[in-house]
């Protein structure tokens, strides 16, 4: 099966999306009151966060599932699941730790893409 986008590019996009999500979640509590002054109040809406999480989930699952047959290593998948578990835990289970768990989950997802990218590049066969 031929994939439309190379896994390497998806990992780079996934790292970027996950880092943007993590930075958004980490910085938003500090700048929340100033957003309307700059016309950026839309960044505080939950749909922005859910869109970032959905995009990261789609890219992560697609990227890791297309590159797994090449390197056959589960570590990136395990790290990706841990990242999304941290985000879900921060949103739904331990809400008082949301400010720590959600950005950490975003950075963990970016790390999963990085590990997957390294494994894919070190793979000698196609």
pLDDT score recorded for residue 75: 96
Instruction: Give the SS3 label for residue 124.
Output: coil
Q: How far apart are the first and last CA of the chain?
A: 13
The pTM of the full predicted model, rounded to 2 decimals, is 0.72
Sequence-distant (≥ 6) Cβ neighbours of residue 122 within 8 angstroms: 71
Domains of the chain, by residue range, sit at 7-122
Residues of the chain with confidence (pLDDT) below 70:
1-8, 25, 28-44, 124-126
Residue 76, both tokens: 């990136």
């Amino acid at each position: 099966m031929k994939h439309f986008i190379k896994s390497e590019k998806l990992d780079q996009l996934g790292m970027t999306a996950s880092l943007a999500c993590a930075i958004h979640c980490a910085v938003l509590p500090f700048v929340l009151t100033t957003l309307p002054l700059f016309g950026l109040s839309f960044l505080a809406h939950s749909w922005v966060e859910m869109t970032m999480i959905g995009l990261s989930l789609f890219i992560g699952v697609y990227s890791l599932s297309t590159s797994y047959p090449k390197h056959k290593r589960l570590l990136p998948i395990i790290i990706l699941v841990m990242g999304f578990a941290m985000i879900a835990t921060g949103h739904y289970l331990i809400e008082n730790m949301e400010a720590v768990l959600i950005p950490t989950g975003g950075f963990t997802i970016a790390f999963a893409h990085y590990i997957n990218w390294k494994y894919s590049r070190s793979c000698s066969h196609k």
